[in-house]
A and B are shown apart, each in its own frame.
Chain A
Amino acid sequence: MLFLENLQLAIEGLRSNKMRSLLTMLGIIIGIGSVIGIVTVGDSMTASVTSAMEGLGATNMLVNLQSKDADRSASLNNIGGASIKEEDLLTDEMIDTYMEAYGDSVIAVSLSNAGGPGRAQEGRLYANVTVVGTNVGYGTANNVEMISGRYLRDGDIKANRYVAVVSDKFVSNMFPSGKNPLGQEIKVSVGNNLQTFTIVGVYKHEQTMMMPSFGPDKDIRTDLYIPITTNRAIASIDRGYQNFIVMLSSSVDARKMVVDTQNFFNTFYASNPRYEVNAISMESMMSAMTTMMGTLSVAVAVIAGISLIVGGVGVMNIMLVSVTERTREIGTRKALGARNSAIRTQFIVEAIIVCAIGGIIGIVTGIALGYLGGYLLDLPTFPTPFIIVVAVVFSMLIGVFFGYYPANKAAGLDPIEALRYE
């Protein structure tokens, strides 16, 4: 029999039981919707992380200390409370010798230490900050985008000056009148200290996926950059570093530089029983990250896929009820000359239609969910056409798969028994 006729029969069947059809579709809608929603958000996250990492510079290299005891990395040690002793840390002197040897291949070395959360206050005006002590290279390696003024200079660092680079958010909070912030003094409380800094520059704050912020825009915590030496004095931080970033010139072979750098610094640690140095390029970190995100979205999509199968079982259940309910009708159709295959096709088409309509509603829901997720996480969102096609095909396959058994049961009914069924 013709496909169109079956389509018409199926739609008549579904229309006569709107509520039930809708509930049956719901499983498919939720399944398809969540698959598409999750994959869309996942893809956007991956894209965003990738672009954020690219922003950091694919040619950057992370140099960090790690425990020689393979089970315990340096950072884990730190979290555990047993912090690295000052004599084990990487020093300015080591970095200086490194620069003498490899200065031509290096654009900047980014050093920083954490000053912790703080708050600038002036009368009723305030701004939340995270105090970060940095060197000059930090601004270069992290692409800090200056709007006005300047970033920290060598002189600021050498002389332990009390100068600060603040964000545009900070400026709008502290200088709502539009007064030029450059040269203004601000009082910042960090821990128990209250310090006064002179603003020398304003940078553009970019919200990143890595640190999404929730809550009112006014309370956003932005970085306040001060000279690394000043911060060391204020917060009495150890001299030396657990890690730092090296920004490589784009003309050098990054892979070779990673090996050379690691070997270079390890000469200082040859006799150290506890620590050694590890260097890793951002590129390999990025690919590791992308792989991880990919695995994560696949895992979540698989879970959503399971919900789709549950939806399919729901379709099968309702189709079985429908076959039982329409036993007499099936008997009549057979008496009128419907072949078994015609009955089977009718029910399979009905199941496919339920799944296809559910699938289409699910796609719309999924795209909406994806955009909602993207909006909440502040990500640019693009639904992937590929996953939509896959979802439609998959939902129709579910219709065929879960519709086949009930349809076959209907086709196999004995016409005499079916006609007699009350």
Chain B
Amino acid sequence: MDEMVIEMAGIIKSFYVGTPNELQILHGINMVIKKGEFVSIVGQSGSGKSTLMNLIGALDRPTSGDYRLDGEDISQLSDNELSDIRNQKIGFVFQTFNLIPRSNALRNVELPLLYNGVAAGARSRRARELLELVEMGDRLTHLPNELSGGQKQRVAIARAMANDPSIILADEPTGALDSKTGRLVMDIFHKLHRQEKKTVILITHNERLASETERVLTIVDGRIVSERFPAADPATDPAAGQEG
């Protein structure tokens, strides 16, 4: 019996609604992601990939359609309710890390806990624990500019895990890294998926990275056009890969 984390039905997203410039980006997305799944969403720029990610991440509301996160309809919530959803149910990992430059690694990881009202002592313990998990336990007091790209991304992943969210939403997490550090970061996502049983959604334009996941959804012009399961289909495995 599979528990669904994300259920999207007939999601449409338009911009400039009601003006002559009205622009429909997503044309009815239907998508279901199971708890504990490692899914990638692949698309070229302009495909609607980012818009879909913003909707999944509760940064935006669909124009129409139904989006259930953990069984709760969140398509028409208020700003504050969306903030709370993002805080507790979603862990963002960005291409450019987006660490707060003035705060050290520990304080960066504490941030989502802070916005969740966790007390100082518990916050610090949890943040240390998470930094240990991503093997950054010896860099607690380093500022972001004292860390390498790979280290920054690991801190960012620890931060994404802070409130034990339902999904980790990673937007091109290796896009700003060389292939070797990118590899390390991908290994961490695999670890979170296997050991921590996390639901991980990877947004990328890189077919080879996508092929490491359990299921690949391809989006073209605002529609999901294909779904494949790389593990069951060895013919399309890493050989088709592009740049790192």
Question: A residues engaging B (CB < 8 A)?
Answer: 1, 5, 12-13, 15-16, 328-329, 331-342, 415-416, 419
Chain B neighbourhood of A328, CB < 8 A = 98
Q: Give the Cβ gap from A404 to chain B, nearest Cβ, in Å.
A: 19
Would you call A340 and B59 a contact (CB within 8 A)? no
Q: Give the Cβ gap from A19 to chain B, nearest Cβ, in Å.
A: 15
Chain B neighbourhood of A16, CB < 8 A = 101-102
Would you call A338 and B102 a contact (CB within 8 A)? no
Could you say which of B60, B79, B101, B111 contacts A336, with CB atoms under 8 Å apart? Answer: B111
Q: Give the Cβ gap from B69 to chain A, nearest Cβ, in Å.
A: 14
Q: Give the Cβ gap from B219 to chain A, nearest Cβ, in Å.
A: 18
Given contacts A5-B114, A16-B102, A340-B83, contact A335 B60 (CB under 8 A): no
Chain B neighbourhood of A334, CB < 8 A = 59, 83, 86
B205 CB-CB contact with A under 8 Å: no
Given contacts A337-B86, A338-B83, A415-B59, contact A332 B115 (CB under 8 A): no
B57 CB-CB contact with A under 8 Å: yes
CB nearest neighbor in A for B57: A335
Would you call A1 and B114 a contact (CB within 8 A)? yes
Give the number of residues in B that approach A within 8 Å (Cβ atoms). Answer: 27
Complex alpha-carbon distance, A337 and B116, angstroms: 8
30 CB < 8 A contacts A-B: A13-B102, A16-B101, A328-B98, A329-B100, A332-B94, A332-B99, A333-B100, A333-B111, A333-B115, A334-B86, A335-B59, A335-B94, A335-B98, A336-B86, A336-B87, A336-B112, A336-B115, A337-B83, A337-B87, A337-B88, A337-B112, A337-B115, A337-B116, A339-B79, A339-B115, A340-B79, A340-B83, A341-B80, A416-B60, A419-B98
Complex alpha-carbon distance, A230 and B114, angstroms: 90
Q: Give the Cβ gap from A77 to chain B, nearest Cβ, in Å.
A: 73
CB nearest neighbor in A for B143: A16
Which 9 A/B pairs are nearest by Cβ-Cβ distance?
A337-B87, A332-B98, A339-B83, A16-B102, A337-B115, A12-B102, A336-B112, A337-B86, A335-B92
Chain A neighbourhood of B92, CB < 8 A = 335-336
Chain B neighbourhood of A336, CB < 8 A = 86-87, 92, 111-112, 115, 159
B117 CB-CB contact with A under 8 Å: yes
Within 8 A of A (CB), among B87-124: 87-88, 92, 94, 98-103, 111-112, 114-117
Would you call B102 and A15 a contact (CB within 8 A)? yes
Chain B neighbourhood of A332, CB < 8 A = 94, 98-100
Chain A neighbourhood of B117, CB < 8 A = 1
B214 CB-CB contact with A under 8 Å: no
Chain A neighbourhood of B103, CB < 8 A = 12
Chain A neighbourhood of B86, CB < 8 A = 334-337
Chain A neighbourhood of B54, CB < 8 A = 416
Main secondary structure of the interface of A (DSSP, over half): helix
Chain B neighbourhood of A338, CB < 8 A = 83, 87, 115
**Residue of A1, A15, A335, A340 with most partner-chain B CB within 10 A:** A335
Chain B neighbourhood of A337, CB < 8 A = 83-84, 86-88, 112, 115-116, 163
Complex alpha-carbon distance, A58 and B229, angstroms: 103
Complex alpha-carbon distance, A333 and B101, angstroms: 12
Q: Give the Cβ gap from A408 to chain B, nearest Cβ, in Å.
A: 14
Q: Give the Cβ gap from A342 to chain B, nearest Cβ, in Å.
A: 6
Would you call A342 and B102 a contact (CB within 8 A)? no
Complex alpha-carbon distance, A336 and B116, angstroms: 10
Complex alpha-carbon distance, A329 and B98, angstroms: 7
Q: Give the Cβ gap from B100 to chain A, nearest Cβ, in Å.
A: 6
Complex alpha-carbon distance, A12 and B218, angstroms: 43
Complex alpha-carbon distance, A313 and B128, angstroms: 42
**Residue of A1, A15, A332 with most partner-chain B CB within 10 A:** A332
**Residue of B84, B86, B99, B117 with most partner-chain A CB within 10 A:** B86
Would you call B59 and A416 a contact (CB within 8 A)? yes
Complex alpha-carbon distance, A339 and B99, angstroms: 18
Chain B neighbourhood of A342, CB < 8 A = 115
Complex alpha-carbon distance, A13 and B100, angstroms: 10
Chain B neighbourhood of A339, CB < 8 A = 79-80, 83-84, 115
Q: Give the Cβ gap from B165 to chain A, nearest Cβ, in Å.
A: 10
Given contacts A337-B88, A337-B115, 13 further A-B contacts (CB under 8 A): A16-B101, A16-B102, A332-B98, A335-B57, A335-B86, A336-B86, A336-B159, A337-B112, A337-B116, A339-B80, A340-B79, A340-B80, A416-B54
Q: Binary interface profile of B, 23-57, with partner A (CB < 8 Å = 1, else 0)?
A: 00000000000000000000000000000001001
Q: Binary interface profile of B, 57-88, with partner A (CB < 8 Å = 1, else 0)?
A: 10110000000000000000001100110111
Could you say which of A1, A5, A329, A341 contacts B101, with CB atoms under 8 Å apart? Answer: A329
Chain B neighbourhood of A341, CB < 8 A = 80
Q: Give the Cβ gap from B175 to chain A, nearest Cβ, in Å.
A: 14
Complex alpha-carbon distance, A332 and B79, angstroms: 15
Complex alpha-carbon distance, A93 and B37, angstroms: 118
Chain B neighbourhood of A331, CB < 8 A = 98
Complex alpha-carbon distance, A342 and B83, angstroms: 11
Q: Give the Cβ gap from A251 to chain B, nearest Cβ, in Å.
A: 73
Within 8 A of A (CB), among B197-233: none
Chain A neighbourhood of B114, CB < 8 A = 1, 5
Q: Give the Cβ gap from B92 to chain A, nearest Cβ, in Å.
A: 5
Complex alpha-carbon distance, A15 and B101, angstroms: 12
CB nearest neighbor in A for B79: A340
CB nearest neighbor in A for B54: A416
**Residue of B57, B83, B163 with most partner-chain A CB within 10 A:** B83
Chain B neighbourhood of A416, CB < 8 A = 54, 59-60
CB nearest neighbor in A for B160: A336
CB nearest neighbor in A for B88: A337
Given contacts A335-B86, A336-B92, A338-B83, contact A1 B102 (CB under 8 A): no
